[in-house]
Amino acid sequence: MKLQSNRGDEGGLSPWDPFGRSPRQRLERFLVADIPVSSAGGLLVLGVFLLVKHNAYLWVLAGGTFVNSAVGLWALGRTRAGQLESAVVGLCLSLWVMAIVDVAIAPALLPCFVALITLGAILAVPYMPRPSLRAVLGASTTVVFVVAVLGRAQDFTRLTAQVPGWIISTFIVAGLLVTVALTTVSLLHYRANLVDAYDELKASAVELEASCRRLVAASDGERRRIERDLHDGAQQTLMAIMLRARSGRYRAEELERDLQDAIDELRKLAHGIYPPLLAEQGLDAAMHVAAERALVPMRLSCEQVGRYDPEVETAVYFCCLEALQNVAKHAGRDAKASVHLWGEPRWLCFSITDDGVGFADGSVRDGAGLINMRDRVGSLGGRLEIASSPRQGTEVRGSVPVRPVRRVAGARPTS
C-alpha cells in the first residue's frame, strides 16, 4: 500500500528538516553546496601555482578537485533522476581516488582526506541499502588504511618542502573546517531521514490497524450474507425437494432437474466466495474468463504469472475485478480497459488502465470498492497506487509480495 510521510515533497519544512523536504532534496542540496566548495579548492591550488610555486604536481592536485566537482555535477543529475544510491557511490569513488593520489603527492594533507573519506561513509548511511552500505564502509576503511600508509611514506615529490608551511597549514585547517561542516549537514540529513522513516512506520501502523478493523467487519458481514443466502436460497430449494420426495409425487426427470437447479445455485454462491477456476487453474485462466464476462471492452496480458498462495491470487483477482467494475461505472460509456499482470522474482504486479473521463487527483474520495482493494493488498504487505487526470483515463497499479508455489492441478486451497 502506498503510504505518505507527513514530510512529503510538497509539504512544509520540519524543525528537524531544515535542508530539504525529502531524502532526494537533502542529497541534492548537499551536492549544490559541495560542488562550489570543491571548485573553490581547485582554484586556490591554481592560485598557489601561479603566485607562489610553479610545480607541476599542483596541477594534479587542482585537477583532482575539478574532477571531483564534475563527478558532483553528475551525481546531482542522478539525484534529480531519483538514482540516489548510484549518486552516492560515484561521489565515494571520486573521493577515494582523489585521496590516494593527493596524499601520495602531498602527505601533509593526510588529515583532510581521512576526514573526507569519513564524510563519504557518513553520507552513504541514509541513502544506501544495507548490503551496499557494508561494501562502501569496507572500501572506505581500506582506503583510509592506504592513505595512512602513503601519509607516512617519504615525500618523493618534495611539494610540501617547496610550498611555505603557512599555506599548507591554511589548506589543512580550511579543509578540516569545511569537512566538519559538511559532515554536520550529513548527520542532520541522516536524522531527518530517520524521522521520515518513523513517520512512515507510524502511518503504516495506523493504516494497518484501520484495515484490520475493516476486514473484521467485512468478514462478519460476509458470513451473515452467506448464511442468509444459504437459508433463503439453497436451503429452501433442498427442503422443498425433500418434502416433495417424501410425498412420492416426484418423477425422476423432475427430481433431476430440481437437484441440478440446487447445485447451480450452490455453485453460484461458491463462485462469489472463491472462484473454482482460480483454485484449479490459477490467476491466468481465471482472469481470461473474467475478461470474457467483463462489462467493458478490455485487453488482457499476463507475463510470467505462475501459481501463488491462495490469498495472493484471491487478492489480485478481486482487485482486478473491482477495478474493472469501477471502469464500467465511472469511466464513461465508450471507455476501454487494459489489464496487465506480470510476475517478478519477489512480487506479483498488476495494472488496470482505462481511457475514460478520469478525475483530478484528490477530487474523489475512496469508495467502498477502493477501500476493499487497499485492504486486500495492504493486508499482504503490498502496495496500491492510483493515478488519474481529467480526460486522460485512470490507472490502478498494485504489487503484492509473493513466493511461487507448486500445486497439483485441480487441488483446492485450504481454508
Per-residue pLDDT of the chain (415 residues; tens, 9 = 90+): 333 333 334 333 344 344 556 778 878 888 888 888 888 888 888 887 777 777 777 888 888 888 888 998 999 898 888 888 888 898 889 889 988 888 888 888 888 888 888 888 888 887 888 888 888 889 989 998 988 888 887 667 677 777 777 777 887 787 788 778 877 777 777 777 777 777 778 877 777 777 777 776 766 666 666 666 565 556 656 766 776 676 666 677 777 777 777 776 666 666 556 667 788 888 888 888 888 877 788 899 999 888 888 888 888 988 888 888 888 888 888 888 999 999 888 899 999 999 888 876 655 566 667 887 888 888 888 888 888 888 888 899 999 998 755 443 444 443 3
Q: Tell me, what's the pLDDT at 99?
A: 87
* The model's pTM: 0.48
- Pairing type for strands 337-343 and 298-303 reads parallel
* CATH superfamily assigned to domain 278-401: Histidine kinase-like ATPase, C-terminal domain (3.30.565.10)
Q: Tell me, what's the pLDDT at 350?
A: 94
Q: Tell me, what's the pLDDT at 48?
A: 78
Q: Tell me, what's the pLDDT at 404?
A: 54
- Annotated domain spans of the chain: 23-206, 222-273, 278-401
Q: What are the φ and ψ backbone dihedral angles of 351, each rounded to 5 degrees? A: -145, 130
